[in-house]
Structure 1
Amino acid sequence: MKHAHPATDTQSDQLDPARAQAFQIALGQAPDIGAGSVLPPFYHQLYFWSPQPANDLGRDGHPRLGAGLIPDLGLPRRMWAGGRLGFAHDLCAGVPAERHSTVESVEHKHGRSGPLAFVTLRHEFRQQGRVCLTEWQDLVYRQDPSHDAPRPVPPVARTDETDLRELSFDSIQLFRYSALTFNGHRIHYDRDYARDVEGYDGLVVHGPLLAQHLMLMARDLIGPLAQFSYRAASPLMDSETASFCRRDTDFWVRGHDGRAVMTANAVPML
């Protein structure tokens, strides 16, 4: 069953340069973003926080479904499955901006692991009276894992890259990204919860953080971006070193065991 959901939300933010500088430091870069500076692609993830009181949080630390934009789907596990972005104009630090969000669709399916719900959020980011960026976020909700069920076999990643960067992540980096994006999902900082409740082998590296590194790599290698799309293939743990790869306009993340972690495609600005 697939249907549109009419829920909408609007938030404003000043896009404080200090937060962007803190993220640059967390990424190991020189903090050179000031008021009026163009924000790198995907840095809008640092802004438009929506703090909720403790009573409106779910067991996983995210806002409880039904208390905000997304309806109660009756499924406890949330994962960011992927997204698409269209860049029209630069967002600049220190300039007031608005985010207009809509639940574009909710789709219920039944997979091998049980019932699933797919939610697509559409965000428009406006600054100085114009739409600068449009983003679609694809989220998936599912049941808790059965501890005796076989794990899905992830796809094998490509090995024909022409460019490669290796990155590793630790609990401090994951905490800093969670803090800077106000992401309360416990799989990124609560190892016991990630292992015992959601069935992961360790702390899970944020999908958006992987996508952020891919977008910065794409900008460095092919120039300003007009579009970028990405899809998660398997979770990456904090104990792993991952390969960030590129061939032409295709980008991907490969795990230490050769599995595909994320795939992406970039369209350069003409």
Structure 2
Amino acid sequence: MKYAHPATETQHDLLDPARAQAFQIALGQAPDIEAGSPLPPFFHQLYFWSPQPATDLGRDGHPRLGVGLIPDLGLPRRMWAGGRLGFAHELRAGVSAERHSTVETVVHKHGRSGPLAFVTLRHEYRQTDRVCLTEWQDLVYRQDPSHDAPRPVPPAARKDETELRERRFDPIQLFRYSALTFNGHRIHYDLNYAREVEGYDGLVVHGPLLAQHLMLMARELIGPLAQFSYRAASPLMEFETASLCRHDTDLWVRGPDGRTVMTANAVPML
């Protein structure tokens, strides 16, 4: 079933350089972004917060379904499945911008684990009267897992990389990222919730944070980006070492057991 009448939302924000500098520090970079500086790809996620009162939050820390853009789907568990970005112009720090958001599709399916809902959000980012960036975010909503149900086996990751960088995460990094992106999802900072309610082995590294590292790696090795797409395959725990891999325009994250955590593809600017 498709959601036939998408909601829309427009937000305005001043892209504060101080927030971008704080994120650079969290990423281990020198904080050199100033007013007028072009923002690195995906740094727009630091802006356009949508704070809600505690009464409008779900148990997981995200806004309750039915509050804001996404309708009430009757499914409690939220996962970020992936996304796509099209870069037309650089966003610049210290300059006002606006985001136009739409629920593009909501599709209901029934999988082996029960009912699922696939939601695609479309965001258009404008600055100085032109579209700079278009982003699609793919979210999945599902029921709580049964603790005695077998876990899905993720596919094995490629091993033909020409570039490999290892990355470790810790609870402080996850907290900083959650704070800078105003992401209240408890799987990233509440260990008891992550284990006992959602069935993870530990704190979960944000999917967009992994995508951010792949995007910065792609820009460094390939050049300015025209498009970037990524897809999550399995969660990464904060106690695991991630291998960030690249072969040509393909990038991926490999877990320490050889599984695929995320796949991505970068299209360079011509």
Calculate the TM-score normalised by the size of structure 2.
Answer: 0.99
- 2:151 pairs with 1:151: yes
Q: Tell me the SS of whatever aligns to 2:61.
A: coil
Residue of structure 2 equivalent to 1:67: 67
Aligned counterparts of 1:3 and 1:177: Cα–Cα separation in 2? 31
Match of 2:109 in 1: 109
TM superposition shift of 1:4: 3.4
* Residue identity (%): 87
1:172 aligns to what SS in structure 2?
A: helix
Equivalent residues of 1:232, 1:263 under 8 A apart: yes
Partner amino acid for 2:18? A
Please report how far the alpha carbon of residue 212 of structure 1 lies from its aligned counterpart in structure 2 after TM superposition: 0.2
Q: What is the one-letter code of the residue matched to 1:206? A: H
Supply the AA of the counterpart residue of 1:193: Y
CA deviation digits over 1:121-142, x for unaligned, max 9?
0000000000000000000000
Alignment of 1:1-270 (within 5 A): 1-270=1-270
CA contact (8 A) 1:103 1:119 kept: yes
CA RMSD across the alignment: 0.5
Once the two structures are TM-superposed, the CA of residue 152 in structure 1 deviates from its matched residue by 0.4
What SS does structure 1 have at the residue aligned with 2:144? coil
Q: Is the 8 A contact 1:78 1:142 kept in 2?
A: yes
Residue 3 of structure 1: how far off its partner (Å)? 3.4
Separation (CA, whole Å) in 2 of partners of 1:232 and 1:125: 24
Letter in 2 for 1:244: L
Distance 1:93 1:44 in 2: 10
Query: Counterparts of 2:124 and 2:2 in 1: how far apart (Å)?
Result: 23
Gaps of 5+ in 1: none
Query: For the residues of structure 1 that align with 2:178 and 2:97, how far apart are their CA atoms?
Result: 22
Contact 1:84 1:227 in 2 (8 A): yes
Distance in 2, matches of 1:29 and 1:265, equals 24
| Structure 2 Cα separation of the partners of residues 263 and 5 of structure 1 | 31
Instruction: State the one-letter code of the partner of 1:66.
Output: G
**Following TM superposition, by how much is the alpha carbon of 1:107 offset from its aligned partner in structure 2, in angstroms?**
0.1
For normalisation by structure 1, the TM-score amounts to 0.99
Does the aligned pair in 2 maintain the 1:166–1:242 contact within 8 Å? yes
Shift of 1:214: 0.3
SS at match of 1:66: coil
For residues 175 and 228 of structure 2, the distance between their equivalents in structure 1, rounded to whole angstroms, comes to: 26
CA contact (8 A) 1:249 1:265 kept: yes
Shift of 1:6: 1.9
Tell me the amino acid that sits aligned with residue 254 of structure 1: R
Stretches of structure 2 lacking an aligned partner (at least 5 in a row): none
SS at match of 1:3: coil
Partners of 1:149 and 1:3 lie apart in 2 by 30
SS of the residue 1:92 aligns to: coil
Contact 1:56 / 1:67 at 8 angstroms: preserved in 2?
A: yes
1:200-236: CA deviations, max 9, x gaps? Answer: 0000000000000000000000000000000000000
Q: In the alignment, residue 200 of structure 2 is paired with which amino acid?
A: Y
The alignment of Structure 1 onto Structure 2 pairs a total of residues equal to 270
Counterpart Cα distance in 1 of 2:75 and 2:186: 16
Q: Distance in 2 between matches of 1:86 and 1:105?
A: 19
